[in-house]
Structure 1
């Protein structure tokens, strides 16, 4: 999974790094006296509010007397009580757990008065032990600054407050949960204890849901969370960057959407405020990105508990069952386009296909092209799995609903397109906008999307290459067209948090441009071009021109243009000799009119229907004896993902790396 750069999330106006002060003094010597006076006065008046610290320049490396150690787990103990006895009790329970032969690192973050005692009294033989000073910078400090993994690390960590003790079987539960849910894009992390499940409905008081039967639950709030293991580095680093951006917003109050916002409410009673607890901030983050936390249910086993509380379930085995999902509120995003029923169907299909679906939009005019494409991929045995036909009319639905192994989904949300969908018409832009909304809603459910169009000819399967690029950490995969924009006819969106944020920006700005042209324009002429999903996506991920300062940069990979060709390829093929150096896919674009598209495919032997019947022999003959353009090597993929700037794209034209 893609990781994000490490950074200091508390580098804000409330913390003054010594390097910054030194820079101010050197650059403006005339202000030296004023700066020094300001620092001294501030420290004198507010001794507990500010710290002068040296910023960490590198992530911590774990070493021991045995040499470099790569721990399976890093335990981060937060000495929030600032007392020695609960710290030692927690460490004793951690030491008594069953870790098998795994190497476990233990990091103790304690008050400065306890460092010596902790170093002397804590016995730990499972791996490296480090004792650090927990700065007095507020409770959020322990959760946000004590773990700063490197961008390419694969470390797993768990935060444990010293108000807790754990049972000997906790590690087995935690390890099994990580192995099972590591690739679930809608889970933020794992807790060791059960949680209070609160549910909010507008106009009513908060209600507690009592579930005494479920062994594990998913809940999208971090209520009373005292033990927490982030599901991945990606989620944790994204949370830290998200929080850093929110700290600059003076009007940000981290309540969950739909919840009571007045101070002193029952919500504040359970979660505190942004000044005293991490729970509320992380809950807001989970709601913005539609993430949940996995908790042991009250019908199962809790693997941690407060000091002094009896825990009868300790030392008992537990199996992970399918979790029951709960939500704090029934609030849905205002931009949600697809109905809950349709999303439930799509989610079910995705869970049967490793968390992603293949998606294409079909209108009545393009049904025959969809069936020709289906004949193409079936004859070559390269049909993508989990195909969902998003159909905009009853005729398309009836034509595709019985195709084996696919789902035709007639979305009532699609607008009536009476004027047709030819390029540049209002119907075309309406369909493109609504397709963007569908993709955005699916990504919001933690489902990755392989979006394609059936107005294509496939000579070989693109998915092996796409899977290999995803394994190298790409968030978005596509191909650049002749205008050096990302084409909308073949895209893979990994449902990472960065991708979801970009998708939301695209929908918001596409909708704004659409409304400006069609709802507020005074001219009677039909606009031919509209800033759209392709141009907006290109501006963000290639040219780095995001219109929102909070959008995180996803890792984009451009499939070489000699693998994905546009319709101009047909103009370069003379005497029909397309079997030498065949691309992977050819888009049947750059020609206007459905009948003209079909005629061109027939001319080159790429129309695979005879009287609506699949001609498998013709489809196989299209690649018989052919040679193919090779995929880019792994080393080139890795180099590309390390960063191709927008300036390089603009200056290189078609001579991009390996293009």
Structure 2
């Protein structure tokens, strides 16, 4: 009788083991399917799996980025879609006499933007990495922050895998000099950053997310990977890309919070040299500032940005959108 029970228990154990093997295989197949679609977000600060990073190695970007890095010691990046082409063209006209453009890699995210920019000035460094639908995006919408996450993760790839320092800029700005020449006075920093805001010429202590120089240090890599993970975690909660989530997905706000607890060697740029959109709004700022760069922020919508730039003589592109305004690069305040 005892031997019969032992035989039965042995058979039962084998059946249970077989069921567990089948179940494990099933769960593993589901897990791999999710990973293949790039929908799993890790809770680790060291790894992030999203649709933007898992299935792409960004070779369209990393190869030319490395070429520019080997020549210049860093790569300057600008991202744009079709809705941002004319603003980018105006910026190109604004800076073309400063010797900046050979260092810039323009990352277009739709075919029309790529064609428009590369055919307009073939000498530019322009690549295509498809993302989104090419339409203008409104601040606060999920689609806006998804594009921001894409940008963050491209930079993460260049920092983490390629060890390339990145100077991230945006075209909704007006430059009166080469900021990199100013950066040369700063050494041994993880990040060189700009104040966002500065009403009445008072330092805001809030980082601007569109004007950053990132050295590929261990600290920068750690913080930037946290930034990727946390933005992805926020956006994973929303399916409607047109939903307005306020500042919840803001790259610069999330980055600022990370830096409150993860201390890096930061160099803040002087507010009189690198000013925000308050330059347009406050006479006191204009009086005290001697800017190298003026950001055209604190205003919503590309159309309103263009109107403001034209009103202040900071628009450098013809009405037809194909010719630089004469001497636009040398226009002073």
Bucket of the pairwise TM-score, normalised by the shorter protein: 0.7 to 0.9
Partner residue of 1:400?
A: 117
Shift of 1:589: 1.2
1:513 aligns with 2:216: no
1:560 aligns with 2:270: yes
1:214-293 map, 5 Å: none
1:594 aligns with 2:302: yes
TM-score of the superposed pair, with normalisation by structure 2: 0.74
Structure 2 CA distance for partners of 1:573 and 1:372, relative to 1, 3 Å: farther
SS of the residue 1:431 aligns to: helix
1:434-445 map, 5 Å: 434-444=150-160, 445=162
Shift of 1:563: 1.7
Shift of 1:359: 0.2
Partner residue of 1:89?
A: none
State whether residues 142 and 240 of structure 2, in contact with CA within 8 Å, keep that contact through their aligned partners in structure 1.
no
Partner residue of 1:391?
A: 108
Shift of 1:340: 5.1
Partner residue of 1:484?
A: 205
1:501 aligns with 2:222: yes
Shift of 1:559: 0.7
Shift of 1:532: 3.0
Equivalent-residue separation in structure 2 for 1:408 and 1:453 (angstroms): 15
From 132, 144, 147, the equivalent of 1:428 is 144
Equivalent-residue separation in structure 2 for 1:450 and 1:409 (angstroms): 17
Equivalent-residue separation in structure 1 for 2:287 and 2:324 (angstroms): 22
1:252-651 map, 5 Å: 334=49, 336=53, 338-339=56-57, 341-379=59-97, 381-402=98-119, 403-412=121-130, 414-416=131-133, 420-444=136-160, 445-469=162-186, 471=187, 473-482=188-197, 484-516=205-237, 518-519=238-239, 526-541=244-259, 543-544=260-261, 546=262, 553-573=263-283, 581-610=289-318, 611-612=320-321, 613-623=323-333
Structure 2 CA distance for partners of 1:350 and 1:497, relative to 1, 3 Å: farther
Shift of 1:605: 1.1
Shift of 1:554: 2.4
Structure 2: unaligned runs, 5 residues or longer? 1-44, 198-203
Shift of 1:384: 4.8
SS of the residue 1:375 aligns to: helix
Deviations 1:551-608 (A, max 9, x none): xx4211111222221112112249xx96984311111111122222111111111111
Deviations 1:101-125 (A, max 9, x none): xxxxxxxxxxxxxxxxxxxxxxxxx
Shift of 1:433: 0.8
Structure 2 CA distance for partners of 1:357 and 1:499, relative to 1, 3 Å: same
State whether residues 448 and 495 of structure 1, in contact with CA within 8 Å, keep that contact through their aligned partners in structure 2.
yes
State whether residues 90 and 317 of structure 2, in contact with CA within 8 Å, keep that contact through their aligned partners in structure 1.
yes
Deviations 1:138-177 (A, max 9, x none): xxxxxxxxxxxxxxxxxxxxxxxxxxxxxxxxxxxxxxxx
Equivalent-residue separation in structure 2 for 1:391 and 1:477 (angstroms): 25
Equivalent-residue separation in structure 2 for 1:460 and 1:579 (angstroms): 19
Shift of 1:509: 0.8
Shift of 1:348: 3.4
Structure 2 CA distance for partners of 1:512 and 1:378, relative to 1, 3 Å: same
Q: State the number of aligned residues.
A: 276
Structure 2 CA distance for partners of 1:525 and 1:607, relative to 1, 3 Å: closer
State whether residues 195 and 268 of structure 2, in contact with CA within 8 Å, keep that contact through their aligned partners in structure 1.
yes
State whether residues 456 and 586 of structure 1, in contact with CA within 8 Å, keep that contact through their aligned partners in structure 2.
yes
Shift of 1:451: 0.3
Partner residue of 2:9?
A: none
Deviations 1:614-647 (A, max 9, x none): 1232442325xxxxxxxxxxxxxxxxxxxxxxxx
Structure 2 CA distance for partners of 1:540 and 1:528, relative to 1, 3 Å: closer
TM-score of the superposed pair, with normalisation by structure 1: 0.39
More RCO (CA 8 Å, sep 6+): 2
Equivalent-residue separation in structure 2 for 1:416 and 1:596 (angstroms): 21
Equivalent-residue separation in structure 2 for 1:614 and 1:424 (angstroms): 32
Shift of 1:459: 1.1
CA RMSD of aligned residues (A): 2.8
Structure with higher Rg: it is 1
Shift of 1:528: 1.9
State whether residues 349 and 386 of structure 1, in contact with CA within 8 Å, keep that contact through their aligned partners in structure 2.
no
Deviations 1:182-220 (A, max 9, x none): xxxxxxxxxxxxxxxxxxxxxxxxxxxxxxxxxxxxxxx
